[in-house]
Structure 1
Amino acid sequence: MKKDLEQLPQDQFERIEIDSSHAERIEKPSLSFWQDAWLRLRKNKAAIVSMIVLVLLVIMALVGPHLNGHDGAEQNLRHANLPPKMPGIEKLGIMDGVGNLSGNKVDLYAMKKVDEYYWFGTDGLGRDLFTRLWEGTQISLLIAFVAALIDLVIGVLYGGISGYFGGRTDDIMQRIVEILIGIPTLIVVILMIMLMEPGIGAIIIAISITGWIGMSRIVRAQILKFKNQEFVLAARTLGTNDSRIIGKHLMPNVLGIIVINTMFTIPNAIFFEAFLSFIGIGLQPPAASLGTLINDGYKVMEFQPYVLLFPSIVISVLMIAFNLIGDGLRDALDPKMKD
């Protein structure tokens, strides 16, 4: 073998010289943590589609009540219990205003001499369900985003202070948390309704009392994990004060888990509001939310399924979209998921 190597002609070899100044150059552009997370999130098709769907639902919640010219609170008993009818689509044999009357298919719009279009039909009081659906979506999203804001403000601050200072401060703060977490949220809501009028205010206050606890415990656990690591000890050695260590060194490291938990808080709050309204202790008529609309549709489900159908679709899409976005963010912000 050695003899064969010695017989290889020298002209078959080419000397390659490498500039030492470029030997360790990184060809791939440097990315920040958030840029890298966005690149990984873009690869998650389900999360991107959910983001688009969610943006469309938010836009519809804002502009939907003004699209068809009907007031969601206006009652017209002559127009009560009309099925969906939408211009253009009615020619396809769907949403054409035809409903059941004594077991027969009848054009209820022609029978009642109604020359208006109700895209999603009307309820038993003649109120436009399309307008009420998007007004109800507004209320549900408002409560959900307020719950997320409470998580971000109270939960993050409480958990960060408790975990960072530790000792007796942590003991006292965690005993308070243990007392609050032992009180069921439903009991808190019932107490708020006894003291206040049922509505958005009572639900928001009930969420404010106990809704931030989960976030605070997650943040506390992350702060306890990071506060004794080398970069924090180095900052403390250099004389950095506590507020700067928390704000500049610890919070950026737990920001990913905060974002993920917030994305799961929003659908939980939407479902919680819908549940309270469905059992009758949330928003009260004539106010509309997804929960009240589903409750109204449940009562007439056998004869007017469209009353239940549309709010059920919206709340289902909202829940799925937020959960898929949360899953996508969890994978994108996890350093272990890097390619």
Structure 2
Amino acid sequence: MSTSTNETISKDMFELVEVNHEDADVIEKPQLSFMQDAWLRLRKNKAAIASLIILILLIIMAAIGPSLSKYDPYTQDSSRINLPPRIPGIEKLGIFDGTQEIAGKKVNVYEQKHIKDYYWFGTDSLGRDLFSRVWQGTRVSLYIAFLAALIDMVIGVTYGLISGYKGGQVDNVMQRIVEILYGVPNLIVVILMLLIFAPGILSITVAMVTTGWLGMSRVVRGQVLKLKNMEYVLAAKTLGASNTRILFKHLLPNLAGVIIINTMFTIPTAIFFEAFLSFIGIGLQAPKASLGTLIQDGYQTFQFLPFQLWIPAAVICILLIAFNLLGDGLRDAFDPKMRD
């Protein structure tokens, strides 16, 4: 059974809604800059955020760690050599309690030597406090790493910008220079620097200045070659903008993501490079402390005093892993194709 109703629709059934045309195009959600958008995506990467927190803590400890200990990192004490780690409070749990296995027996070295002080990371073969030396060494390694990053950002970015933007014969000459320097290994450069300078931070710094910026310059050059023919660059040229303004006002901001990512991967490479040089004996020399020299010292007594190797090795491993994880997170955050 069906019923049909004929209802008339009158004008009184409608209500006229007034529209403010000025508010029609208003975006309610706040606009985000490129960096803000990248930060929002980086925050979702738990590994990158955890690595960032760990790196901040390690940098703080490198800055204030040697001051937290009442022992100088370079003061020797023959009566306190090779003491195992001993930490107040934790020693009651049976770990880091100052005990060491000697001739198959577990011996409390502190009681044996009548020492009431606490050495959180123990001491080395010369009686120096390892806690202050580890953080002093971390400070030196981070200094070299951030110096390498600064060299990359200053020399490499500038060189790549000029080479890619000028193009033609200028680019050919500049790239031939890069290829010649690329053919010389970093280790050979460091050995040559040792003929001029004494082993230490200065020789490592000069070696990094010589060849460390090559990778960054190539990456920046490739990006500039791709961007220099974009519409906004051509518009800036048409409006009479100088080459310097185009390079540093228009091109450089669009390369910020690439530069930051490559810098983050440069830092762990520099840390490992310094540690390797110090380990083989052509980097920093005693009594100066770096993570490489501490690992080299601990390697000699690893079978009997493993803590002298494990502690600096653990710090350098955490640094390398954290920087690499943070670099991976930044790469995903700055990539415009990585959308959730």
Q: TM-score, normalised by structure 1?
A: 0.95
* Deviation of 1:314 (Å): 0.7
SS in 2 for 1:256: helix
- The 2-side partners of 1:178 and 1:172 are apart by 10
Q: Which residue in 2 is equivalent to 1:183?
A: 184
* Deviation of 1:9 (Å): 9.1
SS in 2 for 1:198: coil
**What letter matches 2:331 in structure 1?**
R
SS in 2 for 1:281: coil
- The 1-side partners of 2:242 and 2:6 are apart by 72
- The 2-side partners of 1:274 and 1:16 are apart by 76
Question: What CA deviation, in whole Å up to 9, does each residue of 1:283-322 have, x standing for no partner?
Answer: 1111110011111111111111111111111111111111
Q: Which residue in 2 is equivalent to 1:19?
A: 19
Question: Percentage identity across aligned positions?
Answer: 61
Q: Which residue in 2 is equivalent to 1:62?
A: 63
* Deviation of 1:336 (Å): 1.1
16 and 110 in structure 1: CA distance in 2 versus 1, 3 angstrom threshold = farther
Q: Which residue in 2 is equivalent to 1:303?
A: 304
- The 1-side partners of 2:75 and 2:121 are apart by 15
Q: Which residue in 2 is equivalent to 1:267?
A: 268
218 and 18 in structure 1: CA distance in 2 versus 1, 3 angstrom threshold = farther
Question: What CA deviation, in whole Å up to 9, does each residue of 1:101-148 have, x standing for no partner?
Answer: 122110111111112111101111111111100000010000000000
- The 2-side partners of 1:215 and 1:17 are apart by 59
- The 2-side partners of 1:143 and 1:191 are apart by 19
- The 2-side partners of 1:231 and 1:267 are apart by 36
Q: Which residue in 2 is equivalent to 1:121?
A: 122
In the alignment, structure 1 residue 194 sits paired with structure 2 residue 195: yes
- The 2-side partners of 1:81 and 1:19 are apart by 82
Q: Which residue in 2 is equivalent to 1:322?
A: 323
* Deviation of 1:19 (Å): 2.3
Q: Which residue in 2 is equivalent to 1:232?
A: 233
Cα RMSD (Å):
2.0
SS in 2 for 1:337: coil
147 and 4 in structure 1: CA distance in 2 versus 1, 3 angstrom threshold = farther
- The 2-side partners of 1:119 and 1:5 are apart by 92
**Where do residues 251-262 of structure 1 align in structure 2 (5 Å cutoff)?**
251-262=252-263
**What letter matches 1:32 in structure 2?**
S
- The 2-side partners of 1:327 and 1:16 are apart by 55
**Where do residues 141-290 of structure 1 align in structure 2 (5 Å cutoff)?**
141-290=142-291
- The 1-side partners of 2:89 and 2:302 are apart by 26
Which consecutive unaligned segments of at least 5 residues does structure 1 have?
A: none
**What letter matches 2:207 in structure 1?**
A
9 and 165 in structure 1: CA distance in 2 versus 1, 3 angstrom threshold = same
**What letter matches 2:317 in structure 1?**
S
Q: Count the aligned residue pairs.
A: 336
Question: What CA deviation, in whole Å up to 9, does each residue of 1:204-225 have, x standing for no partner?
Answer: 1001100000000000001100
Q: Which residue in 1 is equivalent to 2:111?
A: 110
- The 1-side partners of 2:301 and 2:99 are apart by 17
- The 1-side partners of 2:115 and 2:47 are apart by 43
* Deviation of 1:329 (Å): 1.1
Q: Which residue in 2 is equivalent to 1:83?
A: 84
Q: Which residue in 1 is equivalent to 2:133?
A: 132
- The 2-side partners of 1:17 and 1:330 are apart by 49
* Deviation of 1:7 (Å): 7.1
- The 1-side partners of 2:291 and 2:8 are apart by 83
SS in 2 for 1:75: coil
SS in 1 for 2:106: strand
Q: Which residue in 2 is equivalent to 1:73?
A: 74
- The 2-side partners of 1:130 and 1:18 are apart by 73
Question: What CA deviation, in whole Å up to 9, does each residue of 1:80-120 have, x standing for no partner?
Answer: 01100111111111111101212211011111111211110
- The 2-side partners of 1:274 and 1:112 are apart by 34
SS in 2 for 1:34: helix
Question: What CA deviation, in whole Å up to 9, does each residue of 1:45-88 have, x standing for no partner?
Answer: 11111111111101101111111200111111110011001111
SS in 2 for 1:105: strand
**Where do residues 47-58 of structure 1 align in structure 2 (5 Å cutoff)?**
47-58=48-59
Q: TM-score, normalised by structure 2?
A: 0.94
- The 2-side partners of 1:324 and 1:70 are apart by 34
8 and 127 in structure 1: CA distance in 2 versus 1, 3 angstrom threshold = farther
SS in 1 for 2:198: coil
4 and 105 in structure 1: CA distance in 2 versus 1, 3 angstrom threshold = farther
- The 1-side partners of 2:213 and 2:140 are apart by 20
